[in-house]
A and B are shown apart, each in its own frame.
Chain A
């Protein structure tokens, strides 16, 4: 937490693509569906115009084109808004990219409610669930600038399909280039604590950090875990946190159905039943409004995490299991 610079993860994405290309990654190509300015692949387009292909407003075809290019040895990064990339083109991703396990990276911006003013049609809270169900798909949701850069590199180095979930809103910086431990399949403990573990992802990591300091004043020591790798999930870290804290809260800017919370519960229910509260979008659509207000309206804020933690402590005064 050495840097207070606020950068949206979509910005970091565009810049890191250029950095990789500058280093000689000649096989990277970038595909966009008329949203290069918003997904920030315009940064790449301006630096490498001959390796950026606008596919027009046609996401289904774009996914297939990416699949075809990857069979020829290119590493396509495909961008759109999360809604249109994973929703509109879900079946193309499943059948043309996932089934043949092609080396395509789907980097979608404007995920979750924080799209704000555009409203429910653009607020995609189902993308993690959709991508997680595709066999062999890696699902990453980085929280800040440096972690996004590391995730872009990891996605490039990984042989196979990757979904990279990016946000429109600027996020707090937790890491420097040197301190960022990001790896596919690994989570990171940001704050130690043994009363309760808050496992958060993406934009919600900063809310979890805020909540932990508020809880500290109430004598509750909350552990905060940044889970940027949702699939594969860092199961060891989840199990260790369950064993040591005995109470878990998950926080995500996504539906509570099929996302991070569901992934955590799937692990715990089978291997270490533990009281869990999942904070997320509770089976409803979003609405228009400034992002911060919309997030608050749906309980995606530090205050709700604190209230949930207190409820969990009251309901389960004795942690179970005891580590």
Chain B
């Protein structure tokens, strides 16, 4: 990828982060921590990786995305809005009565949402069903699903992992947002699921570990997924990320798992993101 393009994607990811804060601030609730950790991968997916058309959100030939960690809806909505599926201004209606932007993704109301999710462990199974269906129909499409590292404590995820391997779903790319924190504390303390790489390997996955907040590493990881097509192996990207990434006082802070920022925190966070955005703009100009 050209340096210029990587910089542009990082700027887009910053706009997605601003959208996350906008939504959760206006909603006075929601999940900024796990949305911010996923902002980079969602940006990469919607702006570089997936075959999608915001003008034709129901295109049968599109790639599919399932946000299995549905509580990161603010990040998905922000990415979809940035990509042009609906107006960015609508992000401020998140979780409001009468808004189509429900607290967790609703495929019936939000353009671009391929599956309703929110109850942990369920989206990954739906993604398996989509991948199997595509395989059955001989469709050349990819199915992506993003899970949380807390989420995979749900037994259903492991049922789905077995299924993906059994049916050789090499058009399926699972991604685990390994930010290391869940509501009650560090995942290592609440329910240790490590070593995830060896577990996914043992479940038959093409397992790739990378920095999920790095555009360049994401590029390499998704290239390895492309290379796995025809291998009969599903892919799982273990994305090492920082919860709250991009807002200094939210990074690695458990407290920001599930609360919206108040006016003061919102202003501080937006100032930080705007400053970073300015820096990147200058860098883009310099590299032109």
Query: Which residues of A approach B to under 8 Å, CB–CB?
Result: 29, 50-51, 53, 55-56, 58, 60-74, 76, 91-92, 95-96, 99-101
Contacts and interface: CB of A to CB of B under 8 A. Distances in A.
B160 A100 contact: no
Contacts of B108: 100-101
A71 B162 contact: no
Interface string B46-63: 000000000000001000
Interface of B: 60, 64, 66, 106-108, 114-116, 118-119, 121-134, 136-137, 155-156, 159-160, 162-163, 166-167
Given A67-B115, A100-B107, A60 B156 contact: yes
Contacts of B66: 68
Contact of A68 (B118, B130, B155): B130
Contact of A65 (B60, B106, B114, B129): B129
Contacts of B121: 60
B128 A74 contact: no
Nearest to A55: B163
A314 to B, nearest CB: 50
Nearest to A67: B126
Contacts of A55: 159, 163
A51 B133 CA distance: 10
13 contacts: A56-B159, A56-B163, A56-B166, A58-B163, A60-B122, A61-B125, A64-B126, A65-B132, A68-B115, A68-B128, A71-B133, A96-B115, A100-B107
Contacts of A65: 125-126, 128-129, 132, 160, 163
Interface centre among A58, A60, A61 (most CB of B within 10 A): A61
Contacts of B166: 56
A96 B132 contact: no
Contact of B155 (A51, A56, A60, A73): A60
Contacts of A68: 66, 115, 125-133
Interface centre among B114, B116, B134 (most CB of A within 10 A): B116
A56 B163 CA distance: 8
B133 A60 contact: no
Give the 8 A-B residue pairs with the shortest CB-CB distance, closest first. A68-B129, A64-B125, A72-B133, A61-B159, A68-B126, A58-B159, A65-B129, A100-B116
B167 A96 contact: no
Given A61-B156, A61-B160, A61-B163, A66 B116 contact: no
Contact of B162 (A56, A64, A73, A76): A56
Given A61-B156, A92-B156, A100 B129 contact: no
A69 B133 contact: yes
A67 B125 contact: yes
Contacts of A60: 121-122, 125, 155-156, 159
A66 B129 contact: yes
A51 B123 CA distance: 22
Nearest to A58: B159
Given A53-B132, A76-B129, 15 more contacts: A51-B136, A56-B166, A60-B121, A64-B125, A64-B160, A65-B129, A68-B128, A70-B129, A72-B133, A73-B133, A74-B133, A74-B136, A95-B119, A96-B119, A101-B108
Contacts of A96: 115-116, 119, 122, 125-126
Contacts of A72: 129-130, 133-134, 137
Nearest to A95: B119
B34 to A, nearest CB: 19
Contacts of B128: 61, 64-65, 68
A61 B163 CA distance: 8
A91 B166 CA distance: 24
Contacts of B162: 56, 58
B119 A67 contact: no
Contacts of A67: 115, 125-126, 129
Contacts of A62: 125
A96 B129 CA distance: 12
A29 B130 CA distance: 13
A92 B117 CA distance: 10
A182 to B, nearest CB: 29
Contacts of A63: 125
Nearest to A74: B133
